[in-house]
Structure 1
Amino acid sequence: MTHDIAQALLDAARKAGADAADAMVIDGTAVSIDVREGRLEQAERAEGLDLGLRVLIGKRQACVSSSDAKPEALAEMAARAVAMAREAPEDPYIGLADPAQLAERRDAEGLELVDNSPEPEPEALLDDACRAEAAARAVRGITQIDQAGASYSRRTIRLAASNGFEGGYARTSRSTFCVAITGEGTAMERDWASESRIFQADLPDADSIGTEAGTRAAARFGSRKPPSGRFPVLYDERVSSSLIGHLTSAINGVSISRGSSWLLDAMGKAVLPDGFDLIEDPLRVRIPGTRPFDAEGLATGRNPLVTGGVLQRWVLDLATARKLGLDSTANASRGPSAPPSPSLSNLTLTPGTASREDLVRDMGTGLLVTSLIGSTINPTTGDYSRGASGFWVENGQIAYPVNECTIAGNLRDMLMRMTRANDARPYLSTLVPSLLVEGLTIAGA
């Protein structure tokens, strides 16, 4: 069905007067269950199509989206897109891929992105949510459960373009989560646990997820502000990927082509400590972020962004690559209602040899961050400030939980003062271990 709709969209675009076009069709099913106090609070099921059409007239483009696949609706959609494109400003860098650039592989065979076992019954999701909630509530010190739920989704994605590309694949997801609270009134603290897998058989037991949420929340009882000053900060594995995310945002082709990145002059220079590699691999098997081709039909593959600490390349789609006089790195991503833009998937920062506990011991006195709140990041200078909570460490041991503090520094300096742990979880799309950063400014008590 998605094939027929995608081709019908392209045919409609041609008839409406488009010089070129590409179409995206997403056919999805999603089911979610939320519980409270052991009873069903909310159940949702969504089934439907998301259609996206991009048309090009010369160097002008426009995107439209819809959920109506009737022939007359597709014709109207194409006519509207062409009318919009004729009024759009010219952009000399837009355009479809040359046929010689297109990926040969146009499905996800062998990548294990789909669990073909039966869709779970709502009763099974309800049971998982209730078990997670009950397990969290059973943890000593938990006063209430904020949220608990379970979900399932299956999506089929089809991309077709007038340059001859057509490909598609499906993916499934099964998830359970729980958010627990300790304390009362203004002294309440919360924490969470959530697990998601492609294959239902890989998902951890709901009881263990709830217990983890309760244990994490209970450990936060009695949180207070830490002292102010310059201290080492250890980013727990749950939040450490945010640091690498700031780096990848700064090397995104959109920021670079606009000249608005704090890493604008960093190509071929050290951006991480010696020995650090940052690799994108969109073809990892059984991983949620895996994709066999990008949103412009180019073949994805292993992409070394940083090698030995030295920046090797920008993150580019076709338009940003043309603007910079480079080749696309096959990083185009898009939804039905927007044109392609550069985006990464399946990142791995090479791990160290120390455990998180080793880094806690070695940091002496400082802050272990388990949650980040808001952010103020200057995109042109890399100045960094974020709200945080976690645990205060004294003499290499966790002393007490902390909240309501701010950590600040400059990302270019911070990234060069990192020490890696070895605790990245192998089933995640982004594999970044706990990271110890020396000499950050903490504003607390």
Structure 2
Amino acid sequence: MFHRPNKKTTSSHAKPLKDLTAVVAPAQLLADEKRQELLTKIKEFSSFDHARFDQLCLSLIHNLINHSQSLPETAHNYYTGPCGLLDHALNRTEAALELFREFVLPEGADLSDPQKLWLYALFSAGMLQGIGKLQIDYRVDLFDVNGQLLKEWNPLLESLAAVATYYHYEFQPEQEEALRRRLNLLFGRLLMPASGFAWIASNPQVLAVWLALLNEDWQGAGTLGAILIRAEAISIQRFFNKLMLKLMGGRSGGRLNRVTTFVDSSPEAISQKEQLAGMEFLRWLTNQLENGKIMVNKAPLFMVPGGMLMCPEIFQWFVQANPEYKTWQLVQNGFLALGLHAKDADGNVMSRFEQANTQQMLSGVVVSKYMVALPDKVKFYNVHTGQESTLTAAELAMSARHVAITARQSGVISSQLSQLSAGGQWQKIEQSGASPHMGTKYSG
């Protein structure tokens, strides 16, 4: 049996039903209007007929729901509400399939069966990305119809819906990312419909890429990896945009701090205020990148192993443009409250890097989910050639992986995406511009 660390023993054998969450059928959760819209788009992008979609796609979605039920994606950052894990997966997958249509297929082409197989690999990986968190991020206790405790749930052994009538969950302390990625593979096999897994396993190349996608091995996942990275960012952008509109009373413009009044000094209200500052900064940064006023790989925004380094100057620039924010540290803390950054083994958020060609030391916050800050296209600066170029966000994701393992390489590094032939073979397509160049992590 898989041992889950940091699990507490249950102190009570029963709970009032009002304190528990009821297990519901997948069809009930999918009846939500927004989820129906996403399902319709996913089916449209897949090009599967009704029977095949139900067999391959809807069955996987149902399996995921039977396991995750109404669990949120995160405790404080994004997709924090009921069914957050499901909503995140649906939004990510819908965005991924649309990008697949945009980048991978020749314009206007109908999908061949080999192309549909690659699309299905992307669909299933999109639905299952990060699913290993079920084993280590939550403690879930299962209860019967009377609220009597049955046992603590082990998601590797059975679905939540198969055992319980009610459940209660708590978030657990952060666990090792590498363990979660390995667990993704186990859950992927567990939740995949038999016919869907057999189809993927029938093609060794597709199987290899599918496993790389689940393991978040973006180099091994190639073009589909770049697409899934971008789709993940789009899904998080959607959540933040919706939250901003809600907090602004439905207004689409204006600054959050000017239309929202905080009179509550509770920890929850303070946390919300920090997040609002972070979202305002994020929106400003996206606009600056879109207008070319800030460039990737030019101070104070650099590609580094593990993500994008935001030096303190980036937050200082925001405060200069928005003087109602008194300190750049407040804005930085607000951005950190969004949960898009990386931490080192000791839990520190600040990192230092040495730029390979100049030996200049750079320090700041490494943003692992930096794609959330990017518009569709960005300008970037090649530190070796001095050239400025334009890349789509997906192309930048492709470039970032290559540069991460060739930090001291000079010259141009390919950022080409690939298109998929009717026979299911990947073919390079011409892209303009050179990729950015990452720095070298400082170990001192």
Could you say whether these structures have the same fold, taking a TM-score greater than 0.5 normalized by the shorter chain as the test?
Answer: no
TM-score (norm 1): 0.23
Task: Tell me which protein shows more strand as a share of its residues.
Answer: 1
Larger radius of gyration: 1
